Amino acid sequence: APVRENLTYEAFGTAVRELAQTIADDGYQPDIVLSIARGGVFVAGGLAYALDCKNLHLVNVEFYTGVGTTLEMPVMLAPVPNAIDFTDKKVLIADDVADTGKTLKLVHDFCVEHVAEVRSAVIYEKSHSLVKCEYVWKRTDDWINFPWSVLPPVHRSGEAAKDNKEAL
């Protein structure tokens, strides 16, 4: 079986506090934490509390698979954050993992023209990532099981998954 990096909710709690401590020790005091949904929302929430930053923004990014090609590019979904909000602000981008790094690069490039400063924080960074984040809790090249996405969505109690689908 392939090797997995298993992050529990409990270990995540430790990770996010340690990541915040690294950021604080580095003297970076963000005005805005920008989370990349959905996985980055957990990280951003934890960091915003730990860094005492009350200004939390969110951007939705999904991978778009080009028709008939192997090209895979992430795209920002509407509503795209208003870049005006970021003018002259110190922004901290938060995500769960920089894997290819394409998602973080997209959001970073969006920010960089408007903000005073932008840095990125992730729980995990893989060695092949094209973006090197300023703040990384742990480096791995294994597939990561995150506590929020390792289980399938819940269904109404007593109903089989297929019944639930039929009801939709």
Q: Which is nearer to ligand 5GP, 62 or 163 (CB)?
A: 62
Shortest distance in whole angstroms from residue 141 CB to ligand 5GP: 9
Q: What angle do CA 11, 104, 154 make, to 5 degrees?
A: 50
Among 19, 34, 35, 39, binds ligand 5GP (CB under 6 A): 39
CA distances from 168 to 4, 83, 154 (A): 34, 37, 14
Identity of the residue numbered 135: Y
- For residue 9, give both structure tokens: 């909710």
Q: Which is nearer to ligand 5GP, 40 or 89 (CB)?
A: 40
- For residue 122, give both structure tokens: 């992730």
Footprint on residues 1-20 left by ligand 5GP (CB under 6 A): none
Among 98, 111, 118, 121, binds ligand 5GP (CB under 6 A): 98
> Can residue 143 be called a binding residue for ligand 5GP (CB under 6 A)?
yes
In angstroms, the CA 58 to CA 161 distance is 31
Q: Which is nearer to ligand 5GP, 86 or 124 (CB)?
A: 124
Shortest distance in whole angstroms from residue 133 CB to ligand 5GP: 10
Q: Which is nearer to ligand 5GP, 81 or 101 (CB)?
A: 101
Q: Which stretch binds ligand 5GP (CB under 6 A): 25-33, 83-91, 97-105, 109-117?
A: 97-105
* Site residues, ligand 5GP (CB under 6 A): 39, 74, 95-103, 143-144, 146, 149
